[in-house]
Amino acid sequence: MVGKQTGSVHKLLAAVTVLACAVAVAVMVLWSALERGPTITDAAAPVNAPGSDFRWYHAAAPGAHSIPIGVIRGIDGHGSRRPALLLVTGTDGFSTDHVQFAREMAARGFDVAIGCWFRTDGPTGAGRTGIACPQAPDFKGVSEAAVADLDALVRGARMALGHPGELALVGMSRGGGIAMLRATHGATEPVVSVAGMVEGTTDWGQLPTEVDVVPLADRVEAPVLLLHGEDDQLVPIAQAQHLASALEAAGVPVETHWYPGAPHGLISVPEIRADLQLRITDWLSAGALSR
């Protein structure tokens, strides 16, 4: 009899343990969801953000920050049949150049989101094209700490875009670097790196916590398109070439194109900007998302 009672107690304790574990997991999942921030909210267009063809939102970011996100829909009616795009800005911050780039990609049929993964103060004088993002997280460069900020931008963009089935990141300069670093954490969205800073430094200096992505290339699972100017005086093309070699060695799908004589600011050169957009469109249309 004692043995039977002991067995019953053991079974009861086991059941209680299983229930406690299930409750703990549920609490962790709920807490994680709360930590990520609830939802996006409608917002007015940021200062100096031109045009009424965008719809604007605020999304929660780490440290009680928020990031503005603008969405423009593919104007030829093909947006729902193409991947959505998220533009990830570089060191100079959010600007009207990115708004125009998004508008031009929308004309090619893409739904596009743009926003800030770090704080910028916007225009400081006549003719400046910056867009203020005063509530966004502080600038952290291509660092591990910045991955959470970019995660918040991606999460907010997905909500603002209506949870598209497919999303690709187009990162510029440090934006390309942080998009690549995020890919080493298991993110599977395709990455287009435009003049990306991927070796943790530029010819104009670096931040103490910035990371060299090249040795981490074997952790990347996302397909990658690298676009770079051969006369880039800020982020030498060797960085893109080193990353391309490392990705190829790791078996990661990667395509490249180098622009002869082109500088760092590729989107500022009209003919190059048009070619960038064509190559991005062709790469995604050729099945980058299914690789």
User: Residue 92 has what pLDDT?
Assistant: 86
**Dihedrals φ, ψ of 188, to 5°?**
-105, 0
Share above pLDDT 70 across residues of the chain, in percent, rounded to a whole number = 81
pLDDT band at 9 (very low <50, low <70, confident <90, very high): very low
User: Residue 122 has what pLDDT?
Assistant: 75
Level-2 CATH architecture, domain 39-290: 3-Layer(aba) Sandwich (3.40)
**pLDDT tens for each residue of 266-277:** 988 999 999 999
Q: Inform me whether the pLDDT recorded for 21 exceeds 90.
A: no
**pLDDT tens for each residue of 95-136:** 888 999 999 999 999 999 999 899 988 775 555 688 888 999
Nearest to 268 by CA among 132, 77, 97: 97
**Dihedrals φ, ψ of 37, to 5°?**
95, 145
Which element (helix H / strand E) includes 60?
A: strand 55-61
**pLDDT tens for each residue of 166-211:** 999 999 999 999 999 999 999 999 999 999 999 999 887 888 899 9
Window from 8-22, 41-55, 124-138 with minimum mean pLDDT: 8-22
Q: Inform me whether the pLDDT recorded for 57 exceeds 90.
A: yes
Return the SS3 of 68. strand
CB 194 within 8 A of CB 170: yes
State the chain's mean pLDDT as an integer: 85
- Lookup: tokens for 121: 């103060």
User: Residue 202 has what pLDDT?
Assistant: 87
- Lookup: tokens for 236: 């030498």
- Lookup: tokens for 120: 């910028």
pLDDT band at 25 (very low <50, low <70, confident <90, very high): very low
List, in order, residues 6 or more apart from 265 with CB less than 8 Å away.
Answer: 195
- Lookup: tokens for 48: 């100096």
List, in order, residues 6 or more apart from 77 with CB less than 8 Å away.
Answer: 109
Locate the domains of the chain by residue range: 1-35, 39-290
Q: Inform me whether the pLDDT recorded for 2 exceeds 90.
A: no
User: Residue 289 has what pLDDT?
Assistant: 55
